[in-house]
Amino acid sequence: MKKYYSRPLIYLFAVILTSLSFLSSKPESLLPWINENFQLAAAKTKAMAQASGDSSRIPVTMKTAGQAHLANLYDWRSGFFAGNMWLLHEYTGDAQWQQEARKWTAALEPLKDFKDHHDLGFMMYCSYGAGYRLTNDARYRDILVQGARSLCTRFDQKTGTIKSWNNFKSWTTGTVYKFPVIIDNMMNLELLFFASKVTGDPYFKKVAITHANTTLENHFRDDFSAYHVVCYDEQTGKVVAKESAQGYAHESAWSRGQAWALYGYTMTYRETGDKKYLKQARGLASYLMKHPNLPADKVPYWDYHAGNPAYTPCGTNAAKYKSGVQPRDASAAAIIASALLELCDYVPKKEGAEMIAFAEASLKALSSPAYRTPMGANANFLLAHSVGSIPHGGEIDAPLIYADYYFLEALLRLKKRVS
Ligand code: GLY
């Protein structure tokens, strides 16, 4: 990936900018800054759509310098590009963005019958879900409900969970597990809560709550951090392994996994009002905001324990990151910021104010030249410096479409607070 500035200097710049903006962040002073981010996002999104040329070729990351890597609709990231367009429509009120968002959303319709992995919530709720929220289009509602039915086919009574992947091979033992559940799966539950609300059928919500409860029991450590992958025995329903697929080590805190957990339990509390989910989200928020290995600009390394000698790396690729400068994960920072900007409303005022200040500071860092790239750069993704998966050796220090999505969502949440 092209480097725009030398690393230590850009991070220092981000920290200075973050601290200054922090001192002066009167609510109304945030609006021009939020606006400027959306203006750039609009120009870049338009250019990306033109470069792709076809709504079946969906930009998700950059593998060749300057060129977006285009995925098909079955890729777990397929809903975010349409999602970005819906967020642009929401922010600008511009009918052209709605038209464009509708076109990219329509291309995803076959997903309503997709049953091959768990990511339907991401794929459909960020695209069709945003579309329904903003237009009330009954056809979108029906497609979402059908998608929720497909997702529920992966629910298993014995384990009390929705199966994430069809199998998972351990980096350390080579064992192939047949019922892996990843913490990311919490994000897919929003589609199920939605389906119960619009149909009146409690089944979807029951599945979501059962999954959330089982995950609460098995996926967390005493310090509130989450394991990435928990594997179940299909016959007994019991946990047989707690490992990591994308983190530094099985016992480490993979940054994006923590972000999904924070966002997922915040959303699950919103949908249920059950205080045990709030407790988990608050505990994890505190863990992430006060982590001793969090850089000053509040954009985490790809794993909170990356390179920590007390942890045994997951496989050979992760082992390459035993020492040296660790890549940041802008996507984790964006997801955490967005989650905190919701969670802050469910906690006492002082705690909420700390969450808002943290989110604002990390968004300021992300919008600085340390992470945000100019028009034409970075294949027109907004943010650079995310990590897909170091153990898999892919998308390391790269742009990711979902980093842009949650960055825009967080800015919208912030705007709603200050205007
Ligand atoms: N759900 C996959 C990821 O966060 O990379």
CA distance 275 to 24: 35
CA–centroid distance, 419 to ligand 1, in Å, is: 33
Q: Which residues are catalytic?
A: 119, 184
Ligand 1, atom nearest to 388 Cα: 5
CA distance 197 to 155: 19
257 within domain boundaries: no
Distance, CA of 150 to chain centre: 22
Per DSSP, the residues of 18-50 read HHHHHHT--GGGHHHHHHHHHHHHHHHHHHHHH
301 and 417 in one domain?
yes
89 and 127 in one domain?
yes
pLDDT per position in the chain (419 positions), as tens?
Answer: 333 344 555 555 555 554 444 444 567 689 999 999 999 999 999 999 999 989 999 999 998 899 999 999 999 999 999 999 999 999 999 999 999 999 999 999 999 999 999 999 999 999 999 999 999 999 999 999 999 999 999 999 999 999 999 999 999 999 999 999 999 999 999 999 999 999 999 999 999 999 999 999 999 999 999 999 999 999 999 999 999 999 999 999 999 999 999 999 999 999 999 999 999 999 999 999 999 999 999 999 999 999 999 999 999 999 999 999 999 999 999 999 999 999 999 999 999 999 999 999 999 999 999 999 999 999 999 999 999 999 999 999 999 999 999 999 999 999 999 98
CA distance 321 to 314: 10
Q: If you take atom 5 of ligand 1, which residue's CA is the nearest one? A: 388
CA distance readout (Å), 262 to 118, 128, 284, 340, 341? 19, 23, 6, 8, 11
419 and 346 in one domain?
yes
Cβ pair 76, 117 in contact under 8 A: yes
Residues with CB under 6 A from ligand 1: 76, 184, 246, 256
- The number of folded domains in the chain is 3
335 and 412 in one domain?
yes
CA–centroid distance, 184 to ligand 1, in Å, is: 6
223 and 289 in one domain?
no
Cβ contacts of 173 within 8 Å, gap of 6 or more: none
103 and 176 in one domain?
no
Cβ contacts of 7 within 8 Å, gap of 6 or more: 325
Cβ pair 18, 387 in contact under 8 A: no
Domain that holds residue 215: 154-243
CA–centroid distance, 392 to ligand 1, in Å, is: 12
Ligand 1, atom nearest to 119 Cα: 1
355 and 295 in one domain?
yes
CA 114, 49, 264: angle at the middle one, nearest 5?
Answer: 45
Ligand 1, atom nearest to 256 Cα: 4
105 and 138 in one domain?
yes
User: Which residue, 271, 404, 292, 273, is CA-closest to 337?
Assistant: 404
